[in-house]
Each structure stands twice: as structure tokens, then as C-alpha cells.
């Protein structure tokens, strides 16, 4: 496929799927072509595979419907400490 940019696109076929991935092969190494809206999401997926524990830490700080789990636990701990009760 000619892109007009100097990139050389070719579909990369997978044996485990009927789908293919468009890759740039102009440099001799295969580089998947990912459109900009998906680049961050793809990076996060691959990065989480390399650092699986990081997602756990990140989820402690991301607020959800019930607030941040870490902040909620800290607030609960402060209430226990200020009441003079220790953990059971």
C-alpha cells in the first residue's frame, strides 16, 4: 500500500485470528500503525502487561462512584485513630 508519506504499509496476518494489523515495514522492522485516538489506550494496555502491579496502584487513586478507595481507607483510619479505638 502506498501512503504517499514514505511509509510502506502492509497487512500483517495472524494465524490465531482472521483479522490483520496494518504495519509500516519501510525500515525493515515491523511497526504497527495505530491511529492517534487509540495510541494512548494501546500504550496503556501494553504497559500494563509489562508492569501488572501498576494498575493496582493506579486504581487506588482513581475516584469511582464511591470515591477513591485509598482516600476512603485513610479517612476511616483517621476516624479510628481520633476516637481512641484501635483495630479489632
Q: Which residue has the higher pLDDT, 72 or 49?
A: 49
Q: Rounded to two decimals, what is the model's pTM?
A: 0.41
Lowest mean pLDDT among 20-24, 41-45, 81-85: 81-85
24: which residues sit within 8 A by CB, 6+ positions away? 7, 8, 9, 30, 31, 32, 33
Q: What's the pLDDT at 12?
A: 86
The whole-angstrom distance between residue 49's C-alpha and the CA centroid of its chain comes to: 8
- Looking at the chain, the whole-number percentage of residues with pLDDT higher than 70 is 52
Q: Which residue has the higher pLDDT, 21 or 3?
A: 21
How many other C-beta atoms lie within 10 A of the C-beta of residue 18?
6
Is residue 5 helix, strand or coil? coil
Q: Is the pLDDT of residue 25 over 70?
A: yes
Amino acid at each position: 500500500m502506498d501512503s504517499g508519506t514514505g511509509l510502506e504499509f502492509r497487512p500483517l496476518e495472524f494465524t490465531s485470528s482472521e483479522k490483520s494489523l496494518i504495519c509500516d515495514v519501510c525500515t525493515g522492522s515491523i511497526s504497527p500503525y495505530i491511529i492517534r485516538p487509540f495510541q494512548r489506550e494501546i500504550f496503556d494496555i501494553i504497559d500494563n502487561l509489562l508492569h501488572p502491579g501498576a494498575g493496582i496502584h493506579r486504581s487506588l487513586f482513581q475516584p469511582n462512584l464511591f470515591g477513591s478507595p485509598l482516600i476512603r481507607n485513610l479517612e476511616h483510619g483517621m476516624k479510628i485513630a481520633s476516637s481512641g479505638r484501635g483495630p479489632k
